[in-house]
Structure 1
Amino acid sequence: ETLNREIEDYYGKRLKKTSDLKTNACVAPVQPTPDFIRQALKKVHPEITARYYGCGLVVPECLEGCRILDLGSGSGRDCYMLSQLVGEKGHVTGIDMTDGQLELARTYVDHHMKEFGYKKPNINFVQGYIEALTEAGLENDSFDVIISNCVVNLSPDKRLVLTEAYKVLKDGGELYFSDIYSNGRLTEEIKNHKVLWGECLAGALCWKDLLQLAEKVGFSPPRLVTASVITVDNKELQDILGDFKFVSATYRLFKVPKGNTKNCKVIYNGGITGAEDSFQFDCQYTFMANEVVEVDGEVANILTHSRFAEDFTFQPLGGPTGPCGVKPKAGIEDPFELALKLGVQGPASATGGCCSTQSAGCCK
């Protein structure tokens, strides 16, 4: 409770604009964004955009008609952008604990609905904590996608956040989120440092702990999408952090049945908006339209049971390891390893996600 109040104070009172942030951990630079997302952002009211603190975009694919929940929605910039992507038949809910931010977001609902040409609002904003979604009035099994950008690290109880997200997601639903991770478990001194909390570092989870937490809660194993190294250009803060390293990483977690782990062949049909020619699912798989790809059982299970099912054609394998005896390559699990690889390749990603000091594409 005390920590939540301090964070609320940091984002509600001490920060008036993005330039008030003390480190670059929570600020992503301008990066190449798909045209349809760029056009949607242009229609968001300037005051909403001005009061949106840092952080790049976290926008998964295939959102038409979806019900989306944005954890830590702030001024509502992403919600208003997503409102256009889901269309009038979809719906977007933003949840935030900061009254001032919610008040600002709600002020512009009618303005945006007129701007988008919607007869009735497809968006609402809820006051509450990301550790207590059901308590805030959100129903179980009611969302197709949950997004979150650099917010989970601000929570003192990550397991509770994931548990609540799992509860409110529909079967086949996805938690697509970008956050800061450390290469080890942080010391108490770092964890209790107020500025480092506000700047998204002190609450960083060790990346290996995310894999364990996700499994305990019931999610499919996290799929790493992209990662980039965080640099702290503040000597005083760097001295406190010592040898700990930080990375901004985007993961996909799905609520799908357990146990179906057979490899299979899939063909991407090319129907996803903005990804008509190729769909980058994660750092291991980029699907080219109409190309046959062998995927591991985990990915086959996700694609079969999620909103992506209609965008793929599924074929059984010729034999236990496929027609040529070639199994899919093992994916990169370590986000630091991926960030290093991407650092050499140079930036390419459209929505590299939160807190990254550089945009990063994914391994081909």
Structure 2
Amino acid sequence: MADDCSSCGNVFFDSSIHVDVKDYYGKRLQKSSDLKTNACVTPAQPIPSFVRDALKKVHPEVSAKYYGCGLVVPECLEGCRILDLGSGSGRDCFMLSLLVGEEGHVSGIDMTESQLEVARAYVDYHMKEFGYKKPNVSFVQGYIEALTEVGLEQNSFDITISNCVVNLSPDKKRVLAEVYSVLKEGGELYFSDIYCSGRLTKEIKNHKILWGECLGGALWWKDVLELANEVGFSVPRLVTANVVTVDNKELEDILGDFRFVSATYRLFKVPKGSADTCQVIYNGGITGAEDSFKFDCCYTFKANEVVEVDGEVASILKHSRFADEFTFQPPGGASERCCVKPKAGVVDPFELAVQLGSEGLSAATGGCCSTQSADCCK
């Protein structure tokens, strides 16, 4: 599972993969239609109205230079400090800078200077568009494997997002470790990425186009669970999943029987949960989720409804930014009221993607995946 680490001590430098990726996204791709697969193409799916309204305010040139695979928009953002890994032209950063408000802040990091030039050129435009007195968004050139090395402070971010970028790194564990370091206690990594049905061959990993198209660097989905645990994160919560098709005969022949899925996970920097269950009541205060809050593919919290959650979810809700959005009570504390019991979660994103597809449903807002809500637990 070891990746090609491009580090010497604490100093990080370009690997051949980084050089190839910068060339692919900085020179070869001029617009989304230049992509050779649909792994990193934004699907045409409905998105929440408040997010759609924010996106409409992003300058057209910024959006035109965006090569992400959808949207990565977690909930409860007001006043938060957010870090966007692989921010590219800055589309998501500008959209999020409006959602966090003038008291919040969004930082974007990218290693491709040509992408950052676009983003930086439109900072003043967006601050004027949003009516902000001072910028609440900034961009830094650097590697997602070396966040603190470029001046991003430890324990300083409430949320880190990533949209189909981690697969482009040759050292995924180091990425997760760096994110863990810069997150505050209770912070969250909410990220979408491409995952594979098995560990890829060297031939596929060394294929420049496949790597640039977000396939050659895809992790076996089980490895992300292991890496998260090794770094210290909570057990990854699967939010969404969607099948990825290649639709390119030459590349399909190279990939053989390997299958790919886009999936969104949320990982938290919180104490490990106990085996005890807990009853929670969602208070209905999250913007855009006043009636119900879809936490992951297993838990959708309806306002004022008593829900029994497992110890891991209870720890996340108690120690994260969601703590003030819930009322907590021990099991049986609301015996006189109807209580929704815990459900066995779908762990395999391929199973979730098939289930959602067979039911004609789309998944919740998130990255490479589609953007409609759907329950997935059996």
Q: Which residue of 2 aligns with 1:76?
A: 90
CA distances 1:204-230 after superposition (whole Å, capped 9, x unpaired): 000100000000000000000010001
After TM superposition, give the deviation of residue 257 of structure 1 in Å: 1.2
- Which residue does 1:262 correspond to in 2? 276
Residue from 275, 291, 295 that aligns with 1:281: 295
Q: Distance in 2 between matches of 1:172 and 1:256?
A: 5
Q: CA deviation at 1:324?
A: 10
**Residue 204 in 1 paired to residue 194 in 2?**
no
* SS at 1:228 equivalent: strand
Alignment TM-score, normalising by the size of structure 2: 0.92
- Residue pairs, 1:334-345, within 5 angstroms: 334-345=348-359
> What residue is the counterpart of 1:363 in the other structure?
375
**What is the distance in 2 between the residues matched to 1:314 and 1:106?**
43
Which one is further off, 322-331 or 264-273? 322-331
Does the 8 Å contact 1:226/1:361 carry over to 2? no
Match of 1:119 among 133, 154, 160: 133
C-alpha distance 116-199 of structure 1, shift in aligned 2 (>3 A): same
Is residue 55–residue 353 contact of structure 1 (8 Å, CA) maintained in 2?
yes
Residue of 148, 151, 154 corresponding to 2:165: 151
Q: Deviation of residue 260 (structure 1)? A: 3.5
> Which residue of the partner structure matches residue 237 of structure 1?
251
User: Please, which moves more after superposition, 163-172 or 101-110?
Assistant: 101-110
RMSD: 1.8
Q: Equivalent residue of 1:135, what SS?
A: helix
Residues 1:23 and 1:72: Cα distance change in structure 2 (over 3 Å)? same
Please point out which of 221, 228, 232 is paired with 1:218. Answer: 232
Deviation at residue 349 of structure 1 after TM alignment: 3.8
Q: Does 1:247 find its partner at 2:237?
A: no
The unaligned stretches of length 5 or more in structure 1 are: none
**For the residues of structure 2 that align with 1:272 and 1:329, how far apart are their CA atoms?**
23
Structure 2 residue identity aligned to 1:2: S
Cα pair 2:167 2:214 within 8 Å, conserved: yes
Residue aligned with 1:227, SS: strand
| Residue 46 (structure 1) aligns with | 60
Which structure has more relative contact order (CA 8 Å, sep 6+)? It is 1
The yes-or-no answer on 1:105 pairing with 2:119 is: yes
Q: 1:137 aligns with which of 146, 151, 168?
A: 151
Flag the 1:253–1:350 CA change in 2: closer, same or farther, 3 A: closer
Post-superposition Cα deviations, 1:99-156, rounded to whole Å, max 9, x if no partner, equal: 0111110011111111100011001000000000001110000000000000000000
Aligned-partner SS, 2:150: coil
Distance 1:235 1:359 in 2: 28
Using the TM superposition, give the Cα deviation of residue 234 of structure 1 relative to its aligned residue in structure 2, in angstroms: 0.6
Asked if structure 2 preserves the Cα contact closer than 8 Å seen for 1:58 and 1:352, the reply is yes
Shift of 1:288: 0.6
Runs of 4+ in 1 over 3 A off after TM superposition: 322-327, 347-350, 358-362
Scaled by the length of structure 1, the TM-score of the pair is 0.96
Contact kept, 8 Å, 1:347 with 1:359, in 2: the verdict is: no
Distance 1:326 1:45 in 2: 44
Secondary structure at the counterpart of residue 155 of structure 2: coil
Q: What's the secondary structure of 2:263's corresponding residue?
A: strand
